[in-house]
Amino acid sequence: RVRLRFTSEWPLELPEVQIRGQLAFALVARNRSPPKVFWDTFKASCEVSDSSEMLKELLVQLRRFLLEPAAYLGLPEEPGEASGASMEARRLSSWVQDAARVNAKRLDVIRAYRAQVLHPELFDPLQPLKEEWLHPSARACIEAMREGDLAAARAILSEHAAGEVFSFPLFTDDFCDKLLEEVFNFYKSGLPARRPNSMNNYGIILSDIGLEPFIDKLQEFLQPLGQGLFQAPGSLWDSHHCFIVRYREGEDLGLDMHTDDSDVTFNICLGLDFTGAGLQFCGAVGAPEHRKHHFTYQHQKGHCVVHLGRKRHGADDITSGERLNLILWNHSSAYRQSRDYRNPPYAKEAEAPDPICLSYTHDRDFGAFKDYPSGREHFRGRGWCPPPAAEYPNFKQEFRFRSTGAGNSKL
């Protein structure tokens, strides 16, 4: 799937192309747009000037580039054919082969699990979201947003941080149970699963088990809410990263303070029974109160907390039971091309941080306020936050260990 955006200068000016979906494609940039080499090849080979014919030719060539990039660019398609090629050709050929391996591994898991699914309706691309899956308050809120009645929509929401963090009931209890049954069924299958990110060791990426169509529909359903609450970051979502996180004794217990690689995040608690695991919210990255505590959110089954990705937050350790949440990161390529995203302001911190808002992964002064958690001591001295220009008055730099040789260290 691809999305094309045209300007009034078409066909003199080529459209912006954004590649949808979760498949890996060689040479495609992180923003899911074709590289310069594709456009150079297209312009050199396209011999039509009529706008409709040019569009057809563009789609034909784009499809060939995505499915057969080596052939499209005249590169060797097999490792043995690359021996006499230039260094650049060998490198590009290697990328093509790497992408093919990644896709094959992912699709093998999806095909294998398709024969074992408990709830086929979750995987059906033609099945719309069922009303009984969604809490009536969520349906009413989204409908109000679609009609432009922001006041009615916000009356349904709980606002926790002015203009930045909201919550509302999204899924019914029965649907939470259905989704959890599917997740645990996948765990039981023994099929391999990529982890969502470096912070979650026991979660799964839902698109990797065949649930991409469901996530597409969920994102489409929630889009009016994102746009109504957050304007540019909540508009024109064209990609997502959706995953399950799991916390229980003996596995991941909590989550260090961080921001998300997301423009807008939806975090839905699916259950189970648990205590602890509060979600701590601090300021937005770059704000004077970036590392000042704002409030603690307590998860409830079926309820969703929605916030800007740049909002610093972290999960307290779970103290008993087990918690699984569905996390949906939404991305807008249009917003990510804006000055607000590419060059955001970074203000000087007004004062020393609240200890609860400190990150052992990211902060340069963590050790000045808190002891490093066991097993996380290697993060000492690796922090970047705050940047020197944004240090609060009388900044407290943590002590950094340095090697003295022979395996000894001192301050």
Q: Which residues pair with 307 in a beta bridge?
A: 165, 265
Q: What is the topology classification, in CATH, of domain 120-342?
A: Jelly Rolls (2.60.120)
Domain assignments of the chain as residue spans, ordered by start: 2-110, 120-342, 358-410
* Residue 394 three-state SS: coil
Q: Which residues pair with 268 in a beta bridge?
A: 304, 326
Mean pLDDT confidence for 208-224 = 96
Average pLDDT, the chain: 89
pLDDT score of 98: 84
DSSP assignment of 234-267: GSS--EEEEEEEEEETTS---EEEE--S-SEEEE
The Cα–Cα gap between 342 and 211 comes to 31
- Quick one: CA torsion of 154, 159, 163, 166, rounded to 10 degrees? -90
* Residue 18 and residue 32 in contact, taking contact as beta carbons nearer than 8 Å: yes
405 pLDDT more than 50: no
The per-residue b/e assignment along 266-286, b for 16 or more CB within 10 angstroms, e otherwise, is: bbbbbbeebebbbbbbbbbbb
Model confidence at 78, in pLDDT bands (50, 70, 90)? Answer: low
**DSSP state, residue 123:** T
Q: Identify the burial level of 233 via C-beta atoms within 10 angstroms of its C-beta, where 0-12 means exposed, 13-18 middle and 19 or more buried.
A: buried
* Residue 358 and residue 313 in contact, taking contact as beta carbons nearer than 8 Å: no
* Residue 199 and residue 256 in contact, taking contact as beta carbons nearer than 8 Å: yes
pLDDT score of 407: 40
Reading the block at residue 249, the tokens are 């004794």
Reading the block at residue 224, the tokens are 């009016």
For the entire predicted model, the pTM comes to 0.87
From 135, 324, 175, select the one nearest 243 (Cα to Cα): 324
The Cα–Cα gap between 411 and 393 comes to 24
* Residue 234 and residue 264 in contact, taking contact as beta carbons nearer than 8 Å: yes
137-175 pLDDT, tens digit per residue, is: 999 999 999 999 999 999 999 999 999 999 999 999 999
* Residue 244 and residue 323 in contact, taking contact as beta carbons nearer than 8 Å: no
